[in-house]
């Protein structure tokens, strides 16, 4: 009894008011006369049921409510809500209290399995003055939170490129072993028209070409940019096959430099097909056409060769599904007439015009391509959009793309300290979880094992 009295005395002292009922977190009755006349002000004691703040039913545990609160924060702009560290001294509250910028707060009582809302903007906490729009917003987010979670795809970006030199059969195989749903080869052409897997047609950063062919160094204009180096289109496949891959990034392991060959697209497709049969597992392939307008100008069209390779491979669409992606809309439009595989438009710097559109009268930036009107036209030939992570935070792009029935895939997730945002405190799973909670349909990752672990955590029934 002494302890209870002491708790009550401390509570009264910290609240600084003469009436405990005025601040009671159980939302005790208060006079409707205290509520402002604004139509958005609602009171639980209003004689009109339309002005009543009803708690939100939450069928879950205290831990699950904590996940919901984090989900709310991820659904709103960063400046919209302030996280309260609570719980306050009120022994009624069993959860932390979360406050919006307009001083509307919400918290969870395990005793009644309800999320309560109140206003902290007047003397004494109550449900008076709670903005109706805020209640509806929280209801909408709660409905989304309750919706069964989708199983986002994990795409091995250039293979498991965080562990092996990118775009090698060994990197792709490791990604498959780690559980990736898709492997992603970037495609450029050799001089004799064979598609090979390289991130760029300038290949000195990822191969030993400079040591083996020093005299072949040259300067070219690629998509309007002057670049000096060694270019895939200047070498035959036979010459390419004399090269060995190396790690592009200095802060990643260099232990595998000089060990692996440069694969053709045909070899990548055969790997996916073989590994799928071996593991009785669906393994998709997600090729990207690199600089398609440039290669078209050299009479080395990427689209036709890509489609030919896919047909020759004879992939079973149930075992080896395919997405085809590009930063240039024109090649996707061309591919739409040649294949039934789903096409994905990649989005670059929002202020830039895709290179292929620069030569047309329709010089739309990526930002303009993302208007509702433009997306409704894009869906005539694409099945989804590949966004950079920065495009999606604090934006409505996911919701608007989904309204057009377009998939949303996101690039690129990297666990390296150099890349991982400091706000995740060295825990890459937190970054994945943030984007999974936003509702993305797939992620490109250099570290597929981290992506798989994060997805498993996300899909656990008790986590969001």
- Annotation marks residue 199 as catalytic: yes
Task: Kindly report each contact of residues 245-249 with a partner whose C-beta sits within 8 Å and lies 24 or more positions away, as own/partner.
Answer: 245/165, 245/166, 245/167, 245/168, 245/206, 245/207, 246/165, 246/206, 246/207, 246/208, 247/165, 247/166, 248/165, 248/166, 248/199, 248/205, 248/206, 249/416
Comparing C-alpha atoms, which of 370, 411, 367 is closest to residue 389?
A: 411
Which residues does 48 contact at the CB level (< 8 Å), separation at least 6? none
CA 95 to the chain's CA centroid: 29
Strand, helix or coil for residue 381:
coil
Alpha carbon distance 25, 377 (integer Å): 51
Q: Which residues pair with 343 in a beta bridge?
A: 324
Task: Compute the distance between CA of residue 410 and CA of residue 443 in angstroms, rounded to an integer.
Answer: 5
Cβ-in-10-Å burial (0-12, 13-18, 19+) of 197 comes to buried
Identify the bridge partners of residue 444 per DSSP, sorted by sequence position: 155
10 Å Cβ neighbour count for 136?
A: 10
> Among residues 116, 199, 291, 391, which one is catalytic?
199
Which of 116, 157, 167, 409 is flagged as catalytic? 157
Residues 6+ apart with CB under 8 A from 184: 155, 156, 157, 158, 159, 285, 286, 287, 288, 444
Question: How far apart, in whole angstroms, are the C-alpha atoms of residue 461 and residue 442?
Answer: 20
* Strand partners of residue 227: 220
Query: Is 464 part of the annotated catalytic residue set?
Result: no
Q: Can you name the residues that pair with 285 across neighbouring β-strands?
A: 183, 322
Among residues 64, 60, 108, 61, which one has the least CA distance to residue 84? 108
Cβ neighbours of residue 226 closer than 8 Å, sequence gap 6 or more: 219, 220
Instruction: Calculate helix-pair angle for 62-75, 132-146, nearest 10 degrees.
Output: 110
Residue 296: other Cβ atoms inside 10 A: 18
Taking the C-alpha atoms of residue 383 and residue 404, their distance in angstroms, rounded to an integer, is: 10
| 3-class DSSP string for 318-331 | CCCCECEEECCHHH
| Interatomic CA distance for residues 148 and 363, integer angstroms | 40
Cα separations (Å) of 306 from 73, 145, 265, 345, 384?
Answer: 43, 40, 8, 16, 19
Active site residues: 157, 199
């Amino acid at each position: 009894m002494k302890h209870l009295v002491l708790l009550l005395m401390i509570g009264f002292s910290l609240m600084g008011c003469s009436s405990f009922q005025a601040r009671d977190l159980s939302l005790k009755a208060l006079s409707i006369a205290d509520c402002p006349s604004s139509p958005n002000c609602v009171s639980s004691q209003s004689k009109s049921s339309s002005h009543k703040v009803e708690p939100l039913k939450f069928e879950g545990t205290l831990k699950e409510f904590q996940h919901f609160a984090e989900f709310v924060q991820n659904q709103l702009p960063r400046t919209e809500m302030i996280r309260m560290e609570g719980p306050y001294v009120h022994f009624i509250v069993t959860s932390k209290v979360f406050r919006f910028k307009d001083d509307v707060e919400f918290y969870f009582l395990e005793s009644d399995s309800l999320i309560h809302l109140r206003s902290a903007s007047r003397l004494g906490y109550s449900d008076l003055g709670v903005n109706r729009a805020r209640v509806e917003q929280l209801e909408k987010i709660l409905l989304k939170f309750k919706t069964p979670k989708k199983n986002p795809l994990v795409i091995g970006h250039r293979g498991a490129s965080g562990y092996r030199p990118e775009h090698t059969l060994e990197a792709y195989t490791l990604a498959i072993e780690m559980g990736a749903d898709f492997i992603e080869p970037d495609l450029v052409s050799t001089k004799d028209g064979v598609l090979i897997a390289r991130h760029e047609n300038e290949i000195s950063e990822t191969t030993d070409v400079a040591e083996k062919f020093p005299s072949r160094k040259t300067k070219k204009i690629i998509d309007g940019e002057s670049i000096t180096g060694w270019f895939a289109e200047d070498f035959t496949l036979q010459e390419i096959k004399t090269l060995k891959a190396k790690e592009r990034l200095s802060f990643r392991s260099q232990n595998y430099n000089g060990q692996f060959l440069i694969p053709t697209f045909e070899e990548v497709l055969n790997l996916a097909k073989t590994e799928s049969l071996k593991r009785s597992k669906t393994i998709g392939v997600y090729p990207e056409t690199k600089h398609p307008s440039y290669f078209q100008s050299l009479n080395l069209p990427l689209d036709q060769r890509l489609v030919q390779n896919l047909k020759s491979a004879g992939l079973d669409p149930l075992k080896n599904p395919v997405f085809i992606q590009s930063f240039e809309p024109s090649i996707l439009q061309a591919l739409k007439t040649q294949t039934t595989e789903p096409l994905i438009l990649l989005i670059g710097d929002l202020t830039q015009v895709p290179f292929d559109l620069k030569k047309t009268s329709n010089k739309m930036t990526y930002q303009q391509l993302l208007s509702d009107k433009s997306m409704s036209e894009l869906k005539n030939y694409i099945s989804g959009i590949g966004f950079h992570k920065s495009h999606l935070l604090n934006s409505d792009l996911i919701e608007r793309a989904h309204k057009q029935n377009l998939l949303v895939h996101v690039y690129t997730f990297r666990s390296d300290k150099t890349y991982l945002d400091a706000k995740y405190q060295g825990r890459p799973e937190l970054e994945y979880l943030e984007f999974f909670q936003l509702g993305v349909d797939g992620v490109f990752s250099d570290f597929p094992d981290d992506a798989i672990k994060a997805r498993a955590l996300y899909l656990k029934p008790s986590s969001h």
